[in-house]
Structure 1
Amino acid sequence: MPRAGLTPQLVTGHALEVLDEAGPAGLTLKAVAERAGVAAPSLYKHVRSLDDLRVLMAIRILTEAADRLGTSVMGLAGDDALRAFLAAFRGYAAQYPHRHSLLESPPQGGDRQAELDAAAGQLVEIAFATVRGYGLRGDDLVHAVRAIRAMVAGFVGLELGAGYLLPTDLDASFAFLTDLLTAGLAQRAAATP
């Protein structure tokens, strides 16, 4: 019988705490069980495997990120929305650096794939809504969403991985990137009939 009060959602929460503190290498069922105050075999009543738990974690991370980014762009359009989106994405990654890898490369969902796709779809739709403010349509809209994702995910990935070794201020570099994106999307929108 499952431990009273322990659910897949609570197990996922414990797993995220382990990930935040110990990183991907420290994420084991044993560590999650210790955090939950149960024996590791007890977790199998709530999750099927570590891979299944990673899927549940990815769903939670995607949903949290979508909530944060959606809130940041609410009521904004154009440059203001894009600046808010980029800042919120970077802020989430800075607060939860180990969650970033699951955000960018979620595991295969197995029988939870539809739920995983829905969570990822929320985040993608927020990116589309942000870029629609520039008036882009069709393939240009898709290209723009891919560009902002590639640029912000690349910047954040390098920042988290200590890929920027020059002493130039990273916030200034991020502002420069943001200016390039806003100007580039505005220019592309102006050139599109």
Structure 2
Amino acid sequence: MARAGLTAARLTAAAAELADEEGLDKVTLSALARRFGVKDASLYSHVRNVRDLRVRVGLLAAEEMTERIAAAVAGRAGKDALVAFADAYRDYALEHPGRYAATQMRFDPEEVADSAGLRRSVELTHGVLRAYGLAEPDLTDAGRLLRSAFHGYIHLELGGGFGHPRDVRESWARSLDALHVLLENWPTRSGGSER
């Protein structure tokens, strides 16, 4: 084992690189073992199985993306924070598509219980949304809306789903303008505006 220098952290980093290069579905123990020139069995003292490996990639990516978002939103509020958050989110996803895909997996609570990155991500999202005057349960609803809008746009962009010649960055910016207006006018339960 020492000859290959295997550790859980090193395997996770290599799996994250593999995910970005070839896709999360190509992250297997066999593919990783080939990268290190070892037998599959050599990996089992560091990771339990392919699910464990992919979860580790997701948690690594969540930490990386959260750090990037935190730096982007620092000292900002309102629309400036929303745009900084969204741009950092999108940039990370486009630069690291495999890692980003791992963050979208459904995690079991015990798999992510110790994830500071995921907790901080929720805190950052709520911080941006509180500047719009939102409180629970609207924080959760608005957070789900943002995640859905960001993920849907990025998923289509990564998959080449925008065939129109208009620059996708311009459409992204206009979408963020629209989300800002929506958040400023978040509907009440009776269907009117909060403000």
CA distance in 2, matches of 1:131, 1:51: 33
User: Are 1:188 and 2:170 an aligned pair?
Assistant: no
- Give the match for residue 190 of structure 2: none
- Give the match for residue 75 of structure 2: 75
The 1:95–1:147 alpha-carbon spacing in structure 2 relative to 1, beyond 3 Å, is: same
Taking the TM superposition and a 5 Å limit, the aligned residue runs for 1:47-126 are 47-108=47-108, 112-116=111-115, 118-126=116-124
CA drift at 1:157: 0.9
Q: Deviations over 1:114-134 (max 9, x none)?
A: 235x54222122111111111
- Larger helix fraction of residues: 1
CA distance in 2, matches of 1:23, 1:65: 18
SS at match of 1:47: coil
Q: Report the TM-score, using the length of structure 1 for normalisation.
A: 0.89
Q: Deviations over 1:157-186 (max 9, x none)?
A: 111112212222101110110000111112
CA distance in 2, matches of 1:23, 1:180: 32
The 1:112–1:138 alpha-carbon spacing in structure 2 relative to 1, beyond 3 Å, is: closer
Task: State the 4+ residue runs in structure 1 displaced beyond 3 angstroms.
Answer: 106-109
The 1:136–1:25 alpha-carbon spacing in structure 2 relative to 1, beyond 3 Å, is: closer
Letter in 1 for 2:128: T
CA distance in 1, matches of 2:160, 2:77: 32
2:20–2:97 Cα contact (<8 Å) kept:
yes
List gaps (5 residues or longer) in structure 2: 188-192
User: Are 1:175 and 2:177 an aligned pair?
Assistant: no
CA drift at 1:44: 0.8
CA drift at 1:143: 1.8
CA drift at 1:107: 4.2
CA drift at 1:140: 2.1
1:30–1:40 Cα contact (<8 Å) kept:
yes
List gaps (5 residues or longer) in structure 1: none
CA distance in 2, matches of 1:154, 1:21: 21
Q: Report the TM-score, using the length of structure 2 for normalisation.
A: 0.88
The 1:25–1:55 alpha-carbon spacing in structure 2 relative to 1, beyond 3 Å, is: closer
Larger deviation, residues 28-37 vs 145-154: 28-37
2:27–2:54 Cα contact (<8 Å) kept:
no
1:59–1:115 Cα contact (<8 Å) kept:
no
CA distance in 2, matches of 1:89, 1:181: 15
CA distance in 1, matches of 2:140, 2:19: 32
User: Are 1:158 and 2:156 an aligned pair?
Assistant: yes
Tell me how large the CA RMSD over aligned residues is. 2.1
SS at match of 1:45: coil
CA distance in 2, matches of 1:192, 1:157: 31
- Give the match for residue 141 of structure 1: 139
CA drift at 1:41: 1.4
CA distance in 2, matches of 1:141, 1:107: 21
Letter in 2 for 1:164: F
Q: Deviations over 1:61-105 (max 9, x none)?
A: 111111111111011111100000010111001101122221122
CA distance in 2, matches of 1:85, 1:36: 36
